[in-house]
Chains A and B, each alone.
Chain A
């Protein structure tokens, strides 16, 4: 036979992958450096399709990187920077060891730094790519901006994160691109739509973290390093897309308002600037002053292959969106000091509302509690002592629920001290067969323009009342005279006897009906049997797949049924309790 014999594992998929240790050796990096490089460059292990082949016959658990990825890392300029930094640290340590302070100073002056701009550009060749991957970046920046300024990570990082986060919030306000908000037990989820891309991020509640010990902050810091760079560039671009200044400037007239009235220095200039910005109450300055002509209606170009109906639907959607954006337009809110200021101010401002708070709470308050033009005051305490006429006192959930429902919900359910209706997740879109909580059904009906919620409630109440009345009457009757009851029993017995005799007579009629049902059932049975027999003939692999799918479906149904049953039990229990309390009240 001609040619050299090919050895095993020297071609095919085995040559496309490389294990982590080998990759590290090839790059001549230590493990932490390799980790940093992977994080910054976005290199991740791949799961080979045939793991055993790639693993050269062994089944040991190994992580594999694509060989191409690693080769691509070989030419990364940052690798050299890592090496330089290592040398720098060594020199510095030496200088300190020899107490050569001058050398140490000189070395510190020339501390090697690196920039991640090119990596951002490389990982996200287009701006939309970057937007798609913004979720984690935002969540991380929001988390880091809540860290204490001591320990854990550099103060500069925290400050930068805070700045970038606030800038992004201001952009969302300016562009009115917030769509959904969700108060979960983990934190607050926001979803904004930026250039058609949904961006979801989570912010923790404003409490001090008890920092866990089993978390490697170096990994998180490396991620944050990249994310801050990314977010900075994204912010820059976003601000410029709205003709806003970057770094953001507070609008001239707004600035005057924001300035504390006493004229005292509030804080250092740089700090107060960020704080004013993070107050989220002032609009931002534009590069070009906005003119009325900007609102020229867009010409519509019909897309080919689109029917009139589709176009109509699209237009309607557009209108709904515009309406949603102006949800709180014209409303003036006042936040009490016990409600979380930042999320509420952000959400309200995103939908065009005006918002203020107590002057002593935070900088940037624009009007006072006593302002008569306030329409809604957000309160989170059991009751309000001094109520001003002409404004609603509401719990904060109203704001969030209204945003998610895309309409201002009826306020009655959200008064202070009232048991709140459940807060539903706006991220759930129920498909057919899923369990839909009754509150959601009500909401959907309301969105469709119907107003069945209250009616049904009233009806229910009426029914309840009627039932109660009946019960009461019955009881009364029972109490009043038992002789009637006996008569009733007699009558009932008579009726029963009659019914029985009736049943005995028309045999044919019932028989006919039964047969009809039987036919249907027989048909069904036959069909199900056919199906069973066909399933018996399935191939092993297909049968496995089929069983898996059916198992999943059945589980889904089971879960939905379970939820429904739970709800029913809960509702009946609630009703009973209501009745009891009502009775008690009546008694």
Chain B
């Protein structure tokens, strides 16, 4: 059995139960006490998300200031359970309008009880799709307070929609203006050694879609990935257009995508859900274009002084620019005084995280601003307690740039009424974990 969860608890950081649901009788009511005693009040907290106490296993996850705990008594499928929690949280978020924390739970407890009943029955996951649930879970989040009418009766046919063949889209949608928004969001992960060689680098990307389309449209998406292009040129028996092609290491799709067609024709075709959803995710390790290079030199001059020089080079096109660039340069705990010189942006010392934080709001391509800082340290008695240097970390967003080089070649919409659609495509590359050792 995939999960057969016996109970689910929502606790705050103190360990108070915010809400709970016991699905099965095979665990005692004192389970939450066991969790508090054996996990929350010990150093164990956070050391492992799965623990066994007295024959029951606890899976727990912290989401903002809430612990979500699933209790099972059998040999359950852990990956499924965690995925369930993640999905449930994203569903709650969509109900509460984005936030999921202690307050949101306290303000929406009746709604959560209802949802918990619908998404899981006797410990087995049921339907978790927010689109469908919203059709028949009539109480709305506190976002818009009760209107006594309108939501009293479920939309006729709602229950049919719950489990229909196209489970993710209901029929009869009408939009005046048919629009599709496509966002390609990539995050670059980098680990660079102090000598400047790339230890590890990959890109995880996702294509987010927002559809406002009438009827039951069929969509087809073409990307510049190698396999897809080759397949296409084979089928049309003409050479592929020149241009950069990329190789995706792995792709996963939203359940709406027809995977059989992807495997045979290598095209992404689907009937989209209404509204916002994640169409696909992909991963690339080869041929990644790093948007930034960081060249740090940190010199310890004696026991009380340090000299920090960091040069950041933007290696994307000169016409583009990065936004919200933050460079965090770690300094020792006993830092007393810092002085800076920057050629761009602003820098300050943040004692809470023991870092020099250098912010550049708008960072054009093909430039290389520098930061040079002098750091004075309090001399400590503990001699030789050498400082373990954490890596330099970077945050940024580069619009209209993809580190993988992925491009959308076409997006075709076909619906039997034959309306015209407007398609919007955006690209953005963000920093995942962008670490440079120094």
The answer to whether A binds B is no
Residues of chain B touching chain A, judged by Cβ–Cβ distance below 8 Å, are none
